[in-house]
A and B are shown apart, each in its own frame.
Chain A
Amino acid sequence: MQHSEKIESNITSVELIKALTNIVSSEAVLFEQEDLKPYECDGLSAYRAVPLVVVLPDTIEQVQQILALCHNHHVPVVARGAGTGLSGGALPHEQGVLLSLARFKNILHIDAKRRIARVQPGVRNLAISQAVDQFGLYYAPDPSSQIACTIGGNVAENSGGVHCLKYGLTVHNIQQLKIITIEGELLTIGGSGLDSAGYDLLALMTGSEGMLGVIVEVTVKLLPKPERAQVLLAAFDDVVKAGEAVGNIIAAGIIPAGLEMMDKLAISAAEDFVHAGYPLDAEAILLCELDGTNEEVSEHVLKVRAVLNSSGATEVRTAKDEAERVIFWKGRKAAFPAVGRLSPDYYCMDGTIPRKQLPRVLKTMADLSAEYNLPVANVFHAGDGNLHPLILYDANIPGELERTEEFGGKILELCVEVGGAITGEHGIGMEKINQMCVQFNSLELTQFHAVKAAFDPLGLLNPGKAVPTLHRCAEFGAMHVHKGELPFPELERF
């Protein structure tokens, strides 16, 4: 599959490899096909491309030199952390350098008093919380890949997790970044205070998907671990009732630490997989986690239980101990692989919607599921309106991946139509680039390109990702008008 935008480099691949080995040791430059293969995709394995060369620097100075080299010779650069991203953001460029930050895996400094940790970008998300646990602190954003995903990638994607309704996304939980520009310049963004002078470049960099600079250091904010966390599980005989219960909890003045919904198919898959004791006859379950001080949690558990009952829950359970709390969550956290056992392949979507639109979105999705004859399991960060429909398909059946992508695209367009967004936390990458044309008009996309040019006028960082060209949207728009009939079958599609 070829996604790369054409960029005319003024260096041969042999010269490039040689120049790179002058910057890093030769074992840190990979160019043999067998060595490049592991880098051909990220967590979205449907999209693959083999880079020209992979380079694994281990100092900031080396990253500066590599970027300056690529800048001087117009070579595309794609930065990569752990490669767990789900939108093809780290998909390599075939004429470019794949810049792996895997060797930047040190926690540089923990300052418990200031509640911050300064870490290298290749440090795993969970490793931060583990390292600061001794101080009674933790790093709040917890994407479900937290065991493997790295903090650099989290910043690039503005990762969320199950606790973001209360504790925010990555953008709310970082204080300073060090980045290298495409020219090789080291910039410090943010500071040691709670704000910094000038424009909010920290926000602009967060979620910029490797398009504006390469992150080489992150200072994260840490929070004191809550004294107590308690989880309630509520079963409903109707997903709409479950959705309303979420609104009722919030109307009662409570912001749960986590508020997750699963539909029947997701429940049964998870139950088969981890035996969490989920009620199999329910149409939907809600998991509601409350945290805080001991007294606060006790008070809120009573309130939430009452709200769930009055919202029509057929059953409400409170985890009786920490072990049961963990098992309740285990089913939710294992929902993706559990659904994966139902079908040879699944495709995970990531739209967000205003919660009140849930009934309409679920109904339309059910209709589309019937139309495409592809089952969908729904896992929903209900508190913040982030929907993860998992479309079950079989990539070995010719045309089924394409139908799945089309179905997925329609779900995302539906999210935009009801006032939501095409991605809540997985990013645009390569995957949703066409839907960007639905979410934004050409003036807005042009503004995005101007922002990109303010950092990277030659367009060398992660080319072709995140923001589509107007040309591409024009083609996509044409496809829209004609629905199923592709007007330009010879044109590349994702």
Chain B
Amino acid sequence: MSADISQQLQQQLLHAVEQRRSLRIVGGNSKAFYGREVVAETLSVAGHHGVLNYEPTELVITLRAGTPLSEVEKILDDNGQMLPFEPPAFGDKATIGGTIACNLSGPRRAYAGATRDYLLGCKIINGKGEILTFGGEVMKNVAGYDVSRLMAGAMGTLGVLLEVSLKVLPKVETEVTRLFHCSAVEALDKMHAWSQTPLPVSATSYHDSILRVRLSGASKAVNAAVSHIGGEAMENAGQYWQDLKEHRLDFFNTEKPLWRLSLASDIEPGRLVNAGEGDVLYEWGGALRWLRSDAPAQMIQAAVAELDGHASIFRYADQSTIFQPLTPGLLRIHKNLKQAFDPHNILNPGKLYPEL
């Protein structure tokens, strides 16, 4: 399946510019919970789909933004490759464009890099209705500012993604997960000890007194690593990491708001007491922590800022997502950049911050 609706999208955008009406950009609408609410006419990108170029030996794939993530993963899988950042889909409707716009990465992130790290280039429509191309299909490209990566995580506030080029990698040969029963402090110690060595760790998680570690790579290397780190074998580990990535574990089935905390990996649990009481699930060697808490947003964000990290309500809150407030200097730059790409405030206004 393949369809190019870039002209329609551009026309709708130009029309919105003319009438100074804002647009809510939607791919598969699978991550509608994420980000602040935008009340505006819908610009639907889902119909803009298809693989434009895929050269397995070049490690590059170029896709229209509305291409379903599941389709992308299937094509890569058929060719023995994968998206190394293991993006969550949150349902079967996710598109590659939404994946890039939200810049959410899965369990492998701490060991292989984030969504933005694999973005090589993109074609966008900016807020003036201009179709622009940045970056490309080559691994190394330092011509001009890195506008492509700026789009990752901008949640559509700077441009409508039309096409993206991504670096892909070969699938791993062998994966084994080991588990350990231990305290959070011991888990952090173990994860840091492993990270000092070239062990082929590709994911870690800790919750409910269980530390899980996934090892990926050449089978001999994985086997050697297993005998080095010990622990118990884990059954159905592949399903576990999928469920963690897609927030299908019991932990995520919560009445309380789900917070995403991004901070230095070695922050001990005791140092987060100012963020209030709550159950915590650790990922990324400790650098990502999911917190179920109904403590006031300001309190949690102040506590995390104190530790030089940032916190956002991810979902299940009455109010829409609240991202960590920016310092005045950074907010000024953000506003200037929004003005540079979307001077009439057409694209997803307020999705990320009220001022953008």
Contact = CB atoms under 8 A, between A and B. Distances in A.
Interface stretch (B68-76, B241-249, B306-314): B306-314
Contacts of A425: 140, 142
Contact of B310 (A197, A253, A299, A444): A197
Interface in B46-105: 55-60, 80, 103
A253 B327 CA distance: 44
Nearest to A421: B141
A443 B124 CA distance: 12
Contact of B333 (A355, A421, A454): A454
Contacts of B310: 191, 193, 195-197
A353 B170 CA distance: 21
A198 B323 contact: yes
B225 interface: yes
B60, B126, B130, B140, most chain A CB atoms within 10 A: B140
A248 B170 CA distance: 12
B192 interface: yes
A197 to B, nearest CB: 4
Given A443-B130, A454-B336, A172 B173 contact: no
B353 interface: yes
B171 interface: yes
- Most B C-beta atoms less than 10 A away, residue of A169, A186, A225: A169
A114 B265 CA distance: 7
B45 interface: no
A427 to B, nearest CB: 6
A251 interface: yes
Contact of A168 (B117, B136, B153, B196): B117
A182 to B, nearest CB: 12
B173 A419 contact: no
Interface in A118-160: 135-137, 157-158, 160
Contacts of A206: 146
A404 B146 CA distance: 29
Contact of A197 (B110, B141, B324): B324
Nearest to B130: A443
Contacts of B336: 453-455
Interface stretch (B26-34, B177-185, B213-221): B213-221
B152 A250 contact: no
B264 A112 contact: no
Interface string A430-461: 00100010011001100110111111000000
B334 interface: yes
A46 interface: no
A353 B141 CA distance: 10
A211 B353 CA distance: 26
Given A168-B113, A454-B333, A197 B326 contact: yes
B36 to A, nearest CB: 13
Interface stretch (A327-335, A368-376, A380-388): A380-388
Contact of A467 (B109, B132, B144, B326): B144
Contact of A204 (B149, B169, B199, B200): B149
B266 interface: yes
B284 A199 contact: no
Contacts of A225: 198
Contact of A428 (B57, B132, B144, B341): B144
B80 A253 contact: yes
Interface string B315-356: 000000001111101100110110111000000000011000
Contacts of B265: 114
Contacts of A137: 196
Interface stretch (A50-58, A60-68, A266-274, A290-298): A290-298
Contacts, number: 262
B334 A421 contact: no
B57 A251 contact: yes
A354 B150 contact: no
Contacts of B339: 454
A130 B142 CA distance: 27
A423 interface: yes
Interface in A348-378: 352-356
Nearest to A415: B138
A305 interface: no
Contacts of B341: 447, 450
Interface residues of A, number: 95
Interface string B129-164: 011111011111111111101101110001000000
Contacts of A439: 143-144
B110 A207 contact: no
Interface in A184-200: 185-189, 191-200
B223 interface: yes
Which of A198, A254, A426, A454 has the largest number of chain B CB atoms within 10 A?
Answer: A198
A172 B324 contact: no
B16 interface: no
B287 interface: yes
Given A292-B200, A447-B132, A447-B147, A158 B153 contact: no
A88 B71 CA distance: 45
A424 B224 contact: no
Nearest to B131: A443
A247 B58 CA distance: 7
B143 A292 contact: no
Interface in A75-130: 112-115
Interface string A197-215: 1111101101110011000
B145 A207 contact: yes
Nearest to B325: A197
A479 interface: no
B195 interface: yes
Q: Looking at B60, B327, B333, which has the most chain A CB atoms within 10 Å of its CB?
A: B333
Contacts of B192: 113
A425 B143 CA distance: 9
Given A253-B173, A254-B170, A294-B224, A194 B110 contact: yes
A316 interface: no
Contact of B136 (A160, A172, A419): A419
A164 B327 CA distance: 33
B337 A203 contact: no
A157 B223 contact: no
Given A114-B265, A224-B196, A454-B336, A293 B134 contact: no
A199 B57 contact: no
Nearest to A440: B144
A204 B146 contact: yes
B262 interface: yes
> Which of A226, A293, A355 has most chain B Cβ within 10 Å?
A293
6 contacts: A185-B329, A211-B145, A295-B218, A355-B58, A420-B138, A424-B138
Complex A-B, nearest 7 residue pairs according to Cβ-Cβ distance, in ascending order: A203-B149, A454-B336, A193-B262, A424-B140, A296-B221, A247-B57, A295-B220
Given A352-B141, A423-B142, 8 more contacts: A115-B195, A181-B329, A194-B262, A199-B158, A295-B224, A299-B219, A422-B143, A425-B142
Interface of A: 112-115, 135-137, 157-158, 160, 164-165, 168-169, 171-172, 181, 185-189, 191-201, 203-204, 206-208, 211-212, 224-227, 247-248, 250-251, 253-255, 292-296, 298-300, 352-356, 381, 383-386, 419-428, 432, 436, 439-440, 443-444, 447-448, 450-455, 466-467
